[in-house]
Amino acid sequence: MVQFVGVSDIVKLINQVGLETVLRDLADRLEADFKRWPEFEKTPRLASHSRDGVIELMPISDHAHYAFKYVNGHPKNTARGLQTVAAFGVVSDVDTGYTIFVSEMTLLTAVRTAAMSALAARYLARPDSRTMALIGLGAQSEFQAIAFAELVGIEHIRAYDVDEAATAKFVRNMRGRNFSVEVAESAADAVVGADIITTATADKQQATILSENMVGAGVHINAVGGDCPGKTELEAAVLRRSAIFVELTEQTRIEGEIQQLAQDHPVTELWEVITGQAEGRSSRDTVTIFDSVGFAMEDFSALQLIRDIAQQTGHFQDIDLIVEPRDPRDLFGLLTEADAMAEA
């Protein structure tokens, strides 16, 4: 039997443990895994692009466990009442090749992206950052806001979205939290006085959500929305004046904000900062950018954490995914046994 965490299981699991606790524990797990970055067998994700979206496989292994995530990105889905992103993940035992864990990852991806954003900000943002502009109030927004409040110390969110319904949803969901929310009139209005700017829009296009004149000295930009070829949110001039940090360089050059720059434009991989091998913020006035596209190691960390919590809480199901014939060489025997049982 294979342990399976479905949507209802992960909702129960997160509600029992607490979202804030899951975010903190996941940030710690991510940090620990980034510190052992060289141990992982890494590759950019495999993407199949269509006119309106993309389907991706994101594999990784630390030579003890192999994991992958299947995920799509279809911004037009919301008009049909569907999720922009839907995903599931798998963990297998490298020694046997057997799958040992399967989980939904639509909800889990939002949690891991928020935890990853906050972890990066711990290393790159000014430590006294208290105000964040949040531009794009879709499925990621609440998780980002809560993660930055809990893990970075953000006390005030200046929020903006072109969709009034998305804005109303965000304000409703964030009532009663330990941070205040102010609705901005525009993206330019949202960034006024912000220490951190998070951009998390969904449209699959090269857009200018953040232009150079909107970015003041010392700001940290958490660029979440640019995550596939032809999809960006930042004006190239913003990138050229900033210190840029990425997950896996070869993947981000294809999918991230830096696809707008020359292939040799300098960037720093975040694991180097976390391990102390590279400098993060060099001065209080430095503009830093976490050009986040999401990487398979982050899903690996999330799956391993959820597997541990599922076993502790009992919020999982056993599914009949791996065959178990009496004689491992007699796979056909499963069919004859089934016939015999039907005739009995």
Predicted confidence (pLDDT) at residue 344 exceeds the cutoff of 60 = no
Q: What is the mean pLDDT of residues 114-118?
A: 98
Cross-strand pairs, 2:
319
For 19, the 3-state DSSP assignment is helix
Closest to 62 in 3D by CA, of 33, 89, 105, 98: 33
Stated pTM of the model: 0.94
pLDDT of residue 343: 60
Q: What pLDDT band is residue 52 in, cutting at 50, 70 and 90? A: confident
Predicted confidence (pLDDT) at residue 25 exceeds the cutoff of 60 = yes
Long-range contacts of 332-335 (CB under 8 A, 24+ apart): none
Query: What are the pLDDT digits (tens) for 180-213?
Result: 999 999 999 999 999 999 999 866 667 788 999 9
Which residue intervals of the chain bear CATH 3.40.50.720? Answer: 113-295
Q: Higher pLDDT residue, 76 or 100?
A: 100
Query: What are the pLDDT digits (tens) for 118-130?
Result: 999 999 999 999 9
Looking at residue 97, its amino acid is G
What is the DSSP code string of 256-320? Answer: SGGGGS-TT---EEHHHHHTTSS-S--STT--EEEE----HHHHHHHHHHHHHHHHHH---EEE-
- Among the four given CATH numbers 1.20.58.340, 3.40.50.1000, 3.30.1490.20, 3.30.1780.10, the one describing domain 2-107+297-331: 3.30.1780.10
Is residue 6 within 8 Å of residue 104, measured between CB atoms? yes
Closest to 44 in 3D by CA, of 22, 28, 59, 64: 59
What is 113-295's CATH number? 3.40.50.720
User: Among this protein's residues, is 327 annotated catalytic?
Assistant: no
Selecting among 161, 227, 291, 299, the annotated active-site residue is: 227
Q: What pLDDT band is residue 339 in, cutting at 50, 70 and 90? A: low
| Per-residue b or e along 243-269, where b marks 16 or more CB atoms closer than 10 Å to that residue's CB | bbbbbbbebbbebbbbbbbeeeeebbb
pLDDT of residue 249: 96
Query: What are the pLDDT digits (tens) for 148-173?
Result: 999 999 999 999 999 999 999 999 99
pLDDT of residue 209: 86
Q: What pLDDT band is residue 231 in, cutting at 50, 70 and 90? A: confident
Predicted confidence (pLDDT) at residue 247 exceeds the cutoff of 70 = yes
Q: What percent of the chain has pLDDT over 90?
A: 86
Within a 10 A sphere around the Cβ of 339, how many other Cβ atoms?
10
Residue 156 contacts by C-beta under 8 Å, 6 or more apart in sequence?
A: 130, 131, 132, 179, 180, 181, 182
